[in-house]
A and B are shown apart, each in its own frame.
Chain A
Amino acid sequence: MLLEVKNVSKSYKAGISALESTSFNVMGTFNACLTGPSGSGKSTLLNIISGLLPPSSGEVFFDGASLATLDDAALSRFRCENIGCVPQGRSMLASLTVLENVCLPFYLAKKKGDPKDRATELLALMGLDGFSNRRPKELSGGELRRAAIARGLMNQPKLLVADEPTSDLDPANAEAVMALFAKAIDAGVSVLLATHDMNCLKHCSIHLTMEKGRLLA
């Protein structure tokens, strides 16, 4: 079982409950879509699954291992090696070139070698040949999102997590991004998306709906 979410809840200090006793599990390679209105807890669940946010209660198991047993350093290493992340909005670091942005997870994972060839290959796969030395500010929204996906795939993760990957894209670019996720799945990478965009659903094998911090289906 790749991912198992077991009775996970999250509440904040102010008494706000963002997530209530949520459970689900998925096996094998999957393409899951998490939908629901704003504030329904999608991003919170995504961050907990990614190990970015500790749950208030419950547990997340990834490939059979509980994330709760890992300290920050181990959890960070785990994220580097297993989970690719495509954050919401513009997430490319402005101080780095596109190529450096894509290579960054490689260096954060403290891997040995030169990641340039793989990064260039991923950029080509995303249709971004010749963009290596450009700065993020020189790229359009769609190009940035594709570069972020390339970065998410850099360390050959088992799971790619994307928060609103098509939120500010026109339909053509949104479709292109979804096609790239399909390519990732073909390469054996599971994909978990949080989205408002119902057009994404047609690409997904699993559809999870959230409302008021609860998983409906």
Chain B
Amino acid sequence: MKPLTAFRLSIKNIIRRPGRSLCLAAVSALLSFALAGGSLLAECLKNGTKSMSDRLGADALIVPGGYESKAQGALLRGEPSAFFFEGELADRLLDSYGIEQASPQLFIATLDSEHCAFPVQMIGYDPSTDFVVAPWLSQSVPGGPAKGEVIVGADIDGRKGETLEFFGSYYLVAGKLEKTGIGFDTTVFLNMDQAREALDDYAGLVGAYIPEDAISTIAVNVSPAVDINDFSRRIRYGFREEDVGVVLTQAMLGNIASKMDSLLAVIRVITMFLWVASIGVLAILFSAILGERKREFGIYRALGASRKKLSALVLVEASFVSLIGSIAGTALLSLFYFSLNALIGLSIDMPYLAPTSAGTIAWLLGSAIIASFLAGPAASLFTAARIGKMATDAIMREGE
């Protein structure tokens, strides 16, 4: 016969009252779900901002006036956009005061039609001048994509060596990029010469007029001596008739960082509140259960259980139920997170990134399990202390 230890007695009691046990475990599960969700979300947002900062290594993007938000949407969320400058205007912009580095890019939106594999953002860049994506793309394909080749983002449905059709032409996938969590994950990169051919195909298919030597953006780094806001004002004023817009990446990142800071503060407050509230709810539940179980505890006492033993029974039971609930809640969150992370990113209108390593995820989930698990025994401490102090005859009589 297996010894009737405090652990075994607690398990037997948990099994005997599945409804009550489930109710207690559900509170712990909700708590761990919220804690794990909150910390994962916070981590993802932090990584998202860092990734953007790493990838958008330019001070500003000069875009056609009115297309600032389209450019941001394409870069941050991969929303396919196509917009163009006159080639001549681009040349004049490149000569602007204060520019230290500049490189043109071509943004083309592939089509949801039989001529394209799928609608995504296509970005053409000039490997000879680019300082934004070229170093990163070279890690995947040294020297960047050659003629007839593309490099695809992590979420593009195409593997290295496969071909993809865009605007009726076929492109060899020369490499696939690591996940970034921003719009680059659903972007197809190609060199500028290849992009111009794609642009001709695009114009032919949509029947639109595209200016010769058109470009979509100019990524610029300004001289250290030049104030970026002053540069932006000068560009907008100097080219007011041509209607030019400027996207300041630091402002864009700052805006996101500010949003993120507010969101993180809210997440922290909510998780703290949930933790305290859960302890309160569990304490009330344990206290109510104590009333229901006075008779049982009285019998234990009459049979020779010490007050310490009764407290141990309450604590072990609370700990076990809390542990089960915490694991279940975290497991549910993991399922939810891994299947719906893209949707979460869209719903909060912010770039989203999975934590960089399995270790980080494990650490966050483990922490959530521990924090929510501790709520159970913490909440039962009051009940455990009360049951120990109660006079035995009171326990027995009230339970009758």
Contacts and interface: CB of A to CB of B under 8 A. Distances in A.
Do A and B pair up? The answer is yes
Given A53-B393, A103-B4, A107-B4, A93 B306 contact: no
A88 interface: yes
B391 A53 contact: yes
A47 B1 CA distance: 31
A26 interface: no
A52 B12 contact: no
Contacts of B304: 76-77, 79-81, 105, 108-109, 155
Given A53-B391, A88-B400, A105 B303 contact: yes
B272 interface: no
Interface string A103-117: 111011100001110
B4 A95 contact: no
B296 to A, nearest CB: 6
- For chain B, give the interface size range: 20 to 34
Interface string A164-199: 000000000000000000000000000000000000
B16 A47 contact: no
Contacts of B16: 94-95
Given A79-B304, A85-B302, A100-B4, A44 B393 contact: yes
B309 A87 contact: no
Interface string B89-118: 000000000000000000000000000000
Interface in B379-395: 391-393
Nearest to B395: A52
A73 B396 contact: no
A57 interface: no
A108 B309 contact: yes
A47 B393 contact: yes
Interface in A24-67: 43-44, 47, 50, 52-53
B299 A87 contact: yes
Given A93-B296, A103-B4, 10 more contacts: A50-B302, A72-B307, A76-B301, A76-B304, A87-B298, A87-B302, A93-B300, A95-B9, A95-B15, A103-B1
B13 interface: yes
Contacts of B1: 99-100, 103, 114-116
A79 B301 CA distance: 9
A151 B303 contact: yes
B5 interface: yes
Contacts of B233: none
A141 interface: no
B305 interface: yes
A117 B193 CA distance: 91
Contacts, number: 79
Nearest to A114: B1
B305 A76 contact: yes
Interface in B2-22: 3-5, 9, 12-13, 15-16
Interface string B288-314: 000000001011111111111100000
Given A95-B9, A95-B13, A115-B1, A108 B392 contact: no
A47 B400 contact: no
A42 to B, nearest CB: 12
Of B4, B15, B302, B400, most buried by chain A (CB within 10 Å of CB) is B302
A96 B12 contact: yes
A81 B306 CA distance: 13
Contacts of A105: 303-304
A47 to B, nearest CB: 5
Given A72-B306, A77-B304, A107 B299 contact: no
A79 B9 CA distance: 20
Contacts of A116: 1
Contacts of A53: 391-393
Nearest to A54: B391
A91 interface: yes
A46 to B, nearest CB: 9
Nearest to B6: A107
Interface string B214-228: 000000000000000
B303 A108 contact: yes
Contacts of A80: 303-304
Contacts of A155: 304
B4 A52 contact: no
A151 to B, nearest CB: 7
Of A77, A85, A151, most buried by chain B (CB within 10 Å of CB) is A85
Contacts of A100: 1, 4, 12
15 contacts: A44-B393, A53-B393, A72-B307, A72-B308, A76-B304, A79-B304, A80-B304, A81-B304, A87-B396, A88-B396, A94-B16, A100-B4, A107-B5, A108-B303, A155-B304
Contact of B302 (A52, A96, A103): A52
Contacts of B300: 93, 108
Leading 6 A-B pairs by shortest Cβ distance: A80-B304, A76-B306, A95-B16, A52-B392, A85-B302, A107-B4
A80 B308 CA distance: 15
Of A47, A93, A94, most buried by chain B (CB within 10 Å of CB) is A93
A76 B311 CA distance: 14
Nearest to B301: A52
Contacts of B396: 87-88
Nearest to B396: A87
A72 B340 CA distance: 55
A100 B11 CA distance: 14
Given A85-B302, A85-B303, A93-B299, A104 B308 contact: no
